[in-house]
Amino acid sequence: MNYQKHYENSLSHPISFWKEKAKAIDWFKFPDTILSKDADELYRWYEGGELNTCYLAIDQHVEAGRGDQVALIYDSPVTNTKRKYTYQNLLEETAKFAGVLKHLGIEKGDCVIIYMPMIPQTVFAMLACARLGAIHSVVFGGFAAHELAIRIDDAKPKVLLVASGGKEIERIVPYKPIVDAAMEEATHQLDACVVYQRPFVKATLQKGRDFDWEALLSKAKPANYVPVKATDPLYILYTSGTTGQPKGIVRDNGGHAVAMHYSMSDIYGAKKGETFWAASDVGWVVGHSYIVYGPLIYGCPSVLFEGKPIKTPDAGTFFRIIEEYQVKVFFTAPTAFRAIRKEDPKGKLKSKYNTSSLRYLFLAGERTDISTLHWCKALLEVPVIDHWWQTESGYPMIANMTGLGLQPIKEGSAGRVVSGFDIRIVDENGALLPANQEGAVVIKYPLPPGCLPNLWKDTDRFKSSYLSAYSGYYFSGDGGYIDEAGYVFITGRIDDIINVAGHRLSTAEMEEVVAGHPAIAECAVVGIADELKGQIPVGFFVLKAGVTQLESTIEKELIQSVRTTIGPVAAFKRAIQVARLPKTRSGKILRKIMRAIADKKTFNPPSTIEDITVLDELAIIMKEKNIGYLGID
């Protein structure tokens, strides 16, 4: 079926469309209803259905005689390790680790936090939770103790799983001290902490609370999969919101499994048995969907890469992996290729490898800038496909549905709307806008299966964050426009969320830290354009009267406290002292205008601005301090 017909059918007959898609996965009990509403008046997919996500990812393949096929390829240039796991290997490892969790008292509905790097044990742990019907919440290793503590208090896990450390190129990052500090800070008390010791960094265990992973494993009995309801949660993944409190995005089992299968075939155009590689991290949604669940459920070997696009050992690593594992579909963030291009502008390292296995390169996490798109296309000689999605959706909402036949690519656009999503552009009053007019990107509610049904134990925030701004629509937080041919152009966040090296971060969270400095009267953190990372946060602060501390000292202290409170992933490296901040007469800081000044974009100051001359002052300071896009006019 061609894209247009497929898309129209998905919107005109959503129930039969999603019933058909649900048939592609193996249910223990097929759902009674396809779409219904819960007690909070929120839509739910596949009520009455029963399944197990771990069964779909592993057991079904073994039962079908595919036990000897490769399921997971671990490639770790930072530890010089390579290992392949078949579905049979994965079954043994996962069932045994599920036995460990069961022994620790984990049952269906319990929560487990996973704070681990890109190692196979992380995947076993996620799948083991799914096997027992427990809910996992993976926390990205680049977040500091305070962020972990917030998540512990919100998710209220019984058990926390941690590795002794990770490797950031050469730098060893010990994880256990971070976990210890988080457990100290959190109010919620855990029953147990299980530690996977890596050879290059040893963690200290606290008697009675901490357990050695391998020791528990050696005594564990394999545990079987437990049927769960389609509407039961599979995982919680925290993501940045517009306040200091991250949002716990909930993913259910049924809709997610259907969406994973559907997206692997219809969007990514993958064929069973072909190697799929998402060079991301299991701490992000891309890792959940396309390192772990999507490829495994669909039956594609998945690459688990513990390294960076550069320096591990060089900017040729991506190409080496494509050749070595015959990768067919590759997915990463544009920033990764900008990093490669910076190291090796002519792409000379690519010529050492044969990447002809590759069919498509998919890019997401931020808009694909046209120059990166051209560079990748010339180098890899495959279609380079930008596509748009969010932690909330769990899979692409705007893309090129290559499984239905590759559509013409329009540079600068994230593609056309994925079947099942009804995306519109609205103005600030919620009125629909015509083609080519920029506004807020909204999606008709209900969202299709696989998207968040709610926030973890916070229905009010779910409704206020996503559903109340535009009646009948989910508000994405992004701005954009749709052209007359249906291609969507995403122009960036219209809230205070920023994307740094493909990582979603909240400037509000950073502002909380900056404002906590005793010398600071007020501040604003703004995400400004950066050639490598897409955006970087920059802090602007006004000192309290009488403070004599040097600007450079305060800057150093702020950098350090953002790093130790939020984590190195915040990439907060600049803080500038200003005499005052631009504000409206009612006291609202004009962050968008500050960003526009830094990015050298045109803007219209609001008529409510307190004093327009502050804008010139800011422009002068930014120029002096070399802040702003490329630091030049």
Distances 560 to 109, 166, 486, 572 between C-alpha atoms, Å = 38, 20, 46, 9
Q: Which is nearer to ligand COA, 51 or 569 (CB)?
A: 569
Nearer to ligand COA, 142 or 254 (CB): 142
**Residue 115 and residue 161 in contact, taking contact as beta carbons nearer than 8 Å:** yes
571 binds, among ligand AMP, ligand COA, none (CB under 5 to 8 A by kind): ligand COA
Structure-token pair, residue 457? 């134990």
122, two tokens: 């992380």
Q: Minimum distance between the CB of residue 362 and ligand AMP, rounded to whole angstroms? A: 9
What is the distance, to the nearest Å, from the Cα of residue 227 to the centroid of all Cα atoms in its chain? 27
Give the span between the Cα atoms of 14 and 358, in whole angstroms: 33
User: Closer to ligand COA at the Cβ: 100 or 414?
Assistant: 414
Of 386 and 522, which CB lies nearer to ligand AMP in the complex structure? Answer: 386
Instruction: Specify the DSSP element, H or E, that contains 445.
Output: none
Q: SS in 3 state form for 386-429? A: ECECCCCCCCCCEECCHHHCCCCCCCCCCEEECCCCCEEEECCC
Instruction: Rank residues 359 and 504 by Cβ distance to ligand AMP and give the closer one.
Output: 504
Q: In whole angstroms, what is the distance from residue 234 CA to residue 53 CA?
A: 8
Three-state SS letters, 332-393: ECHHHHHHHHHHCCCCHHHHHCCCCCCCEEEECCCCCCHHHHHHHHHHHCCCEEECECCCCC
Q: Which does 263 bind (CB under 5 to 8 A by kind): ligand AMP, ligand COA, none?
A: none
* Residue 490 binding: pick among ligand AMP, ligand COA, none (C-beta 5-8 Å cut-off by kind): ligand AMP
Rounded to 10 degrees, the C-alpha dihedral 231/237/242/245 comes to 100
Chain residues that interact with ligand COA, rule: CB under 6 A: 141-142, 166, 168, 173, 280-281, 284, 286, 308-310, 333, 335-336, 339, 364-365, 500-503, 533, 568-569, 571
Distances (CA, A) of 393 to 22, 41, 247, 266, 510: 17, 19, 13, 16, 25
Q: Minimum distance from CB of 383 to ligand COA (Å)?
A: 18
Q: Which residue has the tokens 């498509």?
A: 360
Give the residues across from 196 on adjacent strands.
163
- The option from ligand COA, ligand AMP, none interacting with 309 (CB < 5 to 8 A, set by class) reads ligand COA
Q: How many CA atoms lie within 13 A of 343 on its CB side?
A: 17
Minimal CB distance residue for ligand COA: 502
Residues near ligand AMP, by CB under 6 A: 239, 285, 364-367, 386-388, 390-391, 414, 476-478, 490, 493, 499, 504
Q: Do the Cβ atoms of 313 and 77 come closer than 8 Å?
A: yes
Q: Which does 499 bind (CB under 5 to 8 A by kind): ligand AMP, ligand COA, none?
A: ligand AMP
**CB of 96: closest distance to ligand AMP in angstroms?**
32
173 binds, among ligand COA, ligand AMP, none (CB under 5 to 8 A by kind): ligand COA
- Residue 602 beta carbon to ligand AMP: minimum distance, rounded to whole angstroms: 21
* Minimum separation from the CB atom of position 462 to ligand COA (A): 23
- Pick the closer one to ligand COA by CB: 216 or 285: 285
In the complex, minimum distance from the CB of residue 386 to ligand AMP, in angstroms, rounded to a whole number: 5
Q: How far is the CB of 49 from ligand COA (least distance, A)?
A: 30
| Least distance (Å) between residue 172 CB and ligand COA | 10
In the bound state with ligand AMP, the residue whose beta carbon lies nearer, of 505 and 581, is 505
Beta bridge partners of 489: 481
Question: Residue 181: phi, psi to the nearest 5?
Answer: -65, -40
Residue 141 touches which of ligand COA, ligand AMP, none (CB < 5 to 8 A by kind)?
A: ligand COA
* Least gap, CB of 386 to ligand COA (angstroms): 12
Q: Show the beta-strand stretches assigned E in 460-573.
A: 473-482, 487-493, 497-500, 503-506, 520-530, 534-543
- Which one of ligand AMP, ligand COA, none is in contact with 122 (Cβ closer than 5 to 8 A by kind)? none
Binding partner of 341, given ligand AMP, ligand COA, none, CB within 5-8 angstroms per partner class: none
